[in-house]
Structure 1
């Protein structure tokens, strides 16, 4: 049960849905924070499917004082960012990269994913221990997406430092008065973002001079309505692909292994019947959703979940809570890969449905099968508790020491 997992590891105690609780009101105004919280599945799905009413451009509501004096241009940082674009520009930008993630392209990556997985596990040694995140769950998807983009996979340790800064804050986001701790967390996050953007900018400049056979070159050479993308658009486009291309899979794989450790009966069943691996992955995505929350803004006044929300309000969609909505999921706090239907929102819905979802699912399936093949058991180690992401908008392990015997 969820309470066993949460109580055992102290997993995100602030996230009430992990303890089997749901709010009486599915849409609530957090006046002290300056935005609205949405917890229900139907309400969240309605928002995700209606980009005309609920915009992905949240930067317009961010107070200027949040980035004041930090040499940060939010408009420049959001140009070309698929996650913050609305139609029709979003649809046009998405088409530019969709060919890189067609079913055939993704399927053809399976041998490379398997090879990298085995190479990483070989390098991890055979001492009966495995630090899942460091040895496999982090480097595997980074190597795959870096190779697609055309940036050195060997730079993954640089990426990790910058990404850790991006998501290092345990502070609750707020549009209201900024405490010193919140201001410091924003500063640290923006430092990581800026470093990653500068790194990718160097590679973009290089591709303009010396094109290669990689996705970054295709973005540099792509045209939108007869014009090439600006440098900022290419950089931010690549930034989203690099970040989303590995963070979700890293947490997906770690969460799946943790779920199987907590529910050994399902570990035994999946090892015996590998057709259960995909549903195990889907249920882990529902049960421990990697990105717990996404944001939208209202373009007009709306009625949602019994609440009247004015225009120009930020909504925080708690996907992880929606994935525990008892109106949609039977026994939502039970880890059950045998569910007949599992319409979880871990990859979103509508026009912003995660473009890399098929790749993440493939990486998870291949890696989990190889872990099963190589190790007779994967168990957490007594006295060595997993360490979890501290950011309240994320659910996943950042360290998961295991015994493989």
Structure 2
């Protein structure tokens, strides 16, 4: 798993699925281009800038829970885990509040591009839906970028508009590529992380009781959710040459799918890998990838999860799944989490009403 992500002479991130070339995102690029593009986005994900988001993320979490807590039930995915990271990334980019629903729709279309690796009708449908959404995003972003050029703001879109690579400003197409990646990666991973955490605690109530008794275990609990139910299950690479690995040969030009979810259950790396243990130490998981492609938004995802799991288990007492039917997984092939997650709990009071 780690070799496929660090041996750039053997494995390339520029992949060619059956439907044609992969999107021209930083995710599908190699050094040195990857290094230059990554440096641009990193300007918005400094430790200081992420820490500054905490009060706002807490406020958004409170608002979302206040809207449902008196009812004693909600669809966690639709009512909380989906909207929270979408609101955060929208504010970081500089997207108006009224356009958030559009962002959720675009994000789902982008993530469903994972079906392009399989070929066939489903792949063609995913590519077609993305082409239509991309045209819509392009027009929307062109208007918004133009507004930032005329009147810059303190947001990520302004940074992209003003950024330079080798002395040249980013093109509209490059800004669109960044926008799509930030939209998908900035929402999907955190949504699944929050949903998966609640699934873990519902299935392992003893660990939830343990967390409530020892809140200082929260950071460790988040890392265990990342390992045990990895939000992103695989990445894409292409063999540059014939590669000998574990007695087999991967032919040059073949698509390779290093499976994060499998690596994080490797019995050679983890003791009792099938057990959910919020105090697991050490926990060398690779849920956020490894090497130069390590997830840029990992610190943001951890922050949002820490706030969500500081709120959910304490405000929603007696959390249970609202249905005994198996939960429906999200459609995208490379992610892991529920499409819907109806839960019930003891009705509580709005924090605003409680003062």
Aligned partner of residue 67 in structure 2, secondary structure = helix
Q: Alignment partner of 2:9: what SS?
A: coil
Measured in 2, the distance between the counterparts of 1:353 and 1:218 equals: 21
- Following superposition of structure 1 onto structure 2, how do residues 329-368 of structure 1 map, counting pairs within 5 Å? 329-368=270-309
Residue matched to 2:17: 62
What is the TM-score when the length of structure 1 is the normalising length? 0.80
1:141 to 82, 85, 95: 85
* Distance (Å, rounded) in 2 between the aligned partners of 1:170 and 1:247: 13
CA distance in 1, matches of 2:136, 2:247: 43
Tell me the residue number matched to 2:101: 157
Q: Distance in 2 between matches of 1:198 and 1:321?
A: 40
Q: 1:260 aligns with which of 194, 201, 211?
A: 201
2:117 — aligned with what? 173
Separation in 2, partners of 1:402, 1:139: 16
Question: Which residue matches 1:48?
Answer: 5
| Counterpart selection for 2:256 from 315, 323, 330 | 315
1:197 Cα deviation from its structure 2 partner: 4.1
Alignment-derived partner of residue 35 in structure 1: none
> Structure 2 vs 1, CA of residues 263 and 181 (structure 1 numbering), >3 Å: closer, same or farther?
same
Quick one: distance in 2 between partners of 1:172 and 1:142?
24
C-alpha spacing 1:170/1:351, structure 2 compared with 1 (3 Å): closer
Counterpart of 2:56 (choices 91, 105, 112) is: 112
Q: 5+ residue gaps in structure 1?
A: 1-43, 68-73
Structure 2 portions without partners, runs of 5+ = 347-355
Q: What's the secondary structure of 2:285's corresponding residue?
A: coil
- Give yes or no for contact 2:244–2:250 (8 Å, CA) kept in 1: yes
Give the alignment of 1:213-224 within 5 angstroms: 213-224=154-165
User: Does the 8 Å CA contact 1:324/1:333 hold for their aligned counterparts?
Assistant: yes
In the alignment, which of 186, 206, 209 is matched to residue 245 of structure 1?
A: 186
The 2-side partners of 1:335 and 1:193 are apart by 39
Q: Is the 2:322–2:343 Cα contact (8 Å) retained in structure 1?
A: yes
2:241 corresponds to 1:300: yes
What TM-score, normalized by structure 2, do the two folds share? 0.91
Give the superposed CA RMSD. Answer: 2.1
* Structure 2 Cα separation of the partners of residues 213 and 172 of structure 1: 36
Higher alpha-carbon deviation: 297-306 or 378-387 = 378-387
- 1:142-167 CA distances to partner (integer Å, 9 max, x unpaired)? 11111111112332211222333344
Corresponding residue for residue 123 of structure 1: 67
Q: What does the per-residue CA deviation read over 1:52-88, in whole Å, with 9 as the maximum and x for residues that have no partner? A: 3311111xx234xx36xxxxxx58x51xx21011111
What is the number of equivalent residue pairs in this alignment? 346
Alpha-carbon displacement from aligned partner over 1:286-309 (angstroms, at most 9, x marks no partner): 111111111011222222222222
TM-superposed CA distance for 1:194, in Å, is 4.2
Q: Compared with structure 1, are the counterparts of its residues 325 and 196 closer, same or farther at alpha carbon in structure 2 (3 Å cutoff)?
A: farther
Task: Name the counterpart of 2:353.
Answer: none
Instruction: Give the match for residue 76 of structure 2.
Output: 132
Cα distance in 2 for residues equivalent to 1:111 and 1:185: 37
Given that residues 384 and 401 in structure 1 are in contact (C-alpha distance below 8 angstroms), is that contact kept between their aligned partners in structure 2?
Answer: no
- Quickly say closer, same or farther: Cα 1:385–1:358, change in 2 above 3 A: same
SS at the partner of 1:334? coil
